[in-house]
């Protein structure tokens, strides 16, 4: 029977495009479906959306050949990080030199990342980028097991042993495609996740993250600054102009809406008051936008013929700058698992193959979700005893260099069971 593609990736955002590049130049036939044309990075000023990128993510971008285009376009290294508690006297300082690295990570505009990945995808004859095209529905051949019986059984233990031979897809514009594996890289509201009947657990934080670009009177010194306010963390992230930072200001929804509605001058005054004078005066602010924040984790990442990754599988609070880095690691692992299975002449849509990806990633992602949620709760209280204890903990950690070095390595994605691409291996 003819199957159009080995892998169809629904979603050509940062994570889906990384997976596509990781599968570039291999024997797998890959299609990426993306409904929206990507906007290029602005010529004047900066994209409102930026991401803090870890060293492990840089290694993945290098391995798939997308890093040079990002470096050429625009990015900013983070050499140090300063975090402090507005409600107490705790502070911590991280310096990349302490772990023998020139940088702790990078701030890159999301549009720069996507454009570099899309440009790289064009180099691969086995990848087709189908845009504008959106997934609408799926129908799986489940090896003779009726879908109704399967959903009534529900639990993973009862999933059919027989792998599906393919997944049939329909698009919003009426095309029909088939694939051995459908990958959901279609973001937090993932249609793939819903069509596959995979539940996601979590909660809204009732907070929004306000983003904007600001100019300050003092240079940022390639340092990422984060002040924990009882209302939510406020980060000033360094851009390539040493007087420009991208802010991520998390606040309760009502307060965030109020801040968004302020005139520029009033917003800058509120920002100055919230951040303090560590970077001198806030001199200008560009357009602002806000994004609702939530924690979510899919109960499973895979089913026969289906895999989820990136925000389709998990969402975390942006306070640790880890969200999309988890997605890039998912992409590197899934590529490795699929290519190894294909090399061993296995059916890549088989549940056992995809389960290896899930086992590899789900625990690490759950741990990061728990840590960021713990920090959010810890710093969300004004209780004097807790403020005292958290400041004590912060200051003790600051004085314990080996512990700090360990934290830096974990945050940079350099610890744990890394996929080949994150270890710097080029290709498969």
Ligand X SMILES: Cc1cc2nc3c(=O)[nH]c(=O)nc-3n(C[C@H](O)[C@H](O)[C@H](O)COP(=O)(O)OP(=O)(O)OC[C@H]3O[C@@H](n4cnc5c(N)ncnc54)[C@H](O)[C@@H]3O)c2cc1C
Residues that bind ligand X (CB under 6 A): 10-16, 33-36, 51-52, 134-135, 185-187, 191, 209, 211, 248, 291, 310-311, 318, 321-325, 327
Query: How far is Cα 208 from Cα 232, in angstroms, rounded to an integer?
Result: 10
Beta bridge partners of 296: 202, 315
| 379 within 8 A of 394, measured Cβ to Cβ | no
Identity of the residue, 321 or 380, whose beta carbon is nearer to ligand X in the bound complex:
321
Task: Output the smallest distance, CB 386 to ligand X, in A.
Answer: 26
User: How far, in Å, CA of 2 to CA of 300, rounded?
Assistant: 29
* Overall size of the chain counted in residues: 428
Tokens 């089913």: give the residue.
Answer: 303
Task: Give least dist CB 100 to ligand X, A.
Answer: 23
Burial (Cβ within 10 Å: 0-12, 13-18, ≥19) of residue 186:
buried
- Which residues neighbour 241 within 8 Å (Cβ) at sequence distance 6 or greater? none
CB of 20 or CB of 348, closer to ligand X: 20
Residue 187 C-beta: closest distance to ligand X, Å: 3
List, in sequence order, the alpha helices (H) in 189-322. Answer: 191-195, 253-261, 264-275
Question: Which is closer to ligand X, CB of 160 or CB of 286?
Answer: 286
| DSSP letter for each residue of 305-350 | TEEE-GGGTEE--GGGS-HHHHHHHHHHHHHHHHHHHHHTT--TT-
H helix or E strand, kind and range, residue 61: helix 55-64
Shortest Å distance, C-beta 56 to ligand X: 11
Supply the minimum distance, in Å, between the C-beta of residue 326 and ligand X: 7
**Angle, vertex CA 254, rays to CA 250 and CA 258, nearest 5:** 85
Token pair of 325, please?
């880095």
Which residue, 31 or 354, has its beta carbon nearer to ligand X? 31
- Measured from the CB atom, the residue of 10 and 348 that comes closer to ligand X is 10
Q: 156 or 176: whose CB is closer to ligand X? A: 176
Judged by CB, which is closer to ligand X: 88, or 187? 187
Nearer to ligand X by C-beta: 36 or 97? 36
Whether the Cβ atoms of residue 281 and residue 269 lie closer than 8 Å to each other: no
CA distances in angstroms from 79 to 4, 55, 107, 238, 334, listed in the order given: 46, 12, 11, 10, 30
Q: Residue 289 Cβ, how far from ligand X at the closest point, in Å?
A: 9
**Minimal distance, residue 53 CB to ligand X, in Å:** 7
- The CA distance from 67 to 65, in Å, is 6
The distance of closest approach from Cβ of residue 345 to ligand X in the complex, given in angstroms and rounded to an integer, is 30
The least distance separating ligand X from the CB of residue 12, rounded to whole angstroms, comes to: 6
The least CB distance from residue 212 to ligand X, in Å, is 11
Q: What stretches of 76-232 show up as alpha helix (H) in DSSP?
A: 110-121, 147-153, 191-195
- Which of residues 159 and 183 has its CB atom nearest to ligand X in the complex? 183
Taking the least distance from each CB to ligand X, the nearer of 14 and 60 is 14
């Amino acid at each position: 029977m003819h199957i159009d593609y080995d892998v169809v990736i629904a979603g050509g955002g940062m994570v889906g495009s990384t997976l596509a590049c990781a599968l570039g130049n291999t024997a797998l036939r890959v299609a990426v479906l993306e409904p929206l044309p990507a906007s290029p990075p602005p010529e004047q000023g900066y994209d409102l959306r930026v991401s803090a990128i870890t060293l492990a993510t840089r290694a993945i971008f290098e391995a798939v050949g997308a890093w040079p285009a990002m470096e050429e376009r625009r990015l900013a290294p983070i050499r140090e990080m300063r975090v402090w508690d507005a409600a107490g006297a705790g502070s911590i300082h991280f310096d990349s030199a302490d772990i023998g690295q020139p940088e702790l990570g990078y701030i890159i505009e999301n549009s720069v990342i996507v454009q570099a990945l899309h440009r790289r995808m064009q180099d691969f004859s086995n990848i087709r980028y189908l845009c504008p095209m959106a997934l609408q529905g799926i129908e799986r051949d489940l090896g003779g097991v009726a879908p109704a019986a399967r959903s009534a059984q529900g639990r993973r233990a009862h999933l059919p042993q027989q792998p599906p031979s393919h997944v049939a897809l329909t698009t919003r514009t009426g095309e029909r495609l088939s694939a051995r594996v459908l990958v959901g890289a279609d973001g937090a509201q993932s249609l793939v996740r819903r069509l596959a009947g995979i539940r996601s657990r979590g909660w809204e934080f009732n907070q929004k993250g306000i983003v904007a670009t600001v100019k300050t009177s003092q240079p940022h010194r390639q340092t990422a600054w984060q002040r924990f306010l009882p209302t939510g963390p406020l980060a000033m992230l360094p851009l390539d102009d040493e007087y420009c930072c991208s802010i991520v200001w998390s606040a309760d929804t009502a307060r965030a809406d109020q801040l968004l509605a302020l005139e520029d001058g009033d917003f800058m005054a509120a920002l100055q008051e919230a951040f303090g004078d560590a970077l001198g005066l806030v001199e200008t602010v560009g357009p602002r936008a806000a994004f609702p924040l939530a924690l979510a984790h899919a109960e499973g990442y895979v089913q026969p013929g289906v895999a989820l990754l990136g925000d389709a599988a998990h969402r975390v609070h942006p306070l640790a700058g880890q969200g999309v880095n988890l997605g890039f690691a998912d992409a590197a692992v899934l590529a490795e698992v699929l290519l190894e299975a294909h090399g061993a002449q296995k059916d890549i849509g088989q549940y056992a193959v995809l389960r290896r990806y899930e086992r590899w990633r789900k625990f690490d992602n759950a741990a990061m979700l728990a840590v960021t949620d713990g920090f959010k709760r810890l710093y969300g209280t004004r209780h004097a005893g807790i403020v005292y204890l958290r400041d004590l903990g912060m200051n003790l950690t600051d004085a314990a260099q080996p512990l700090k070095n360990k934290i830096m390595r974990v945050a940079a994605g350099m610890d744990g069971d890394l996929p080949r691409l994150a270890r710097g291996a080029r290709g498969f």
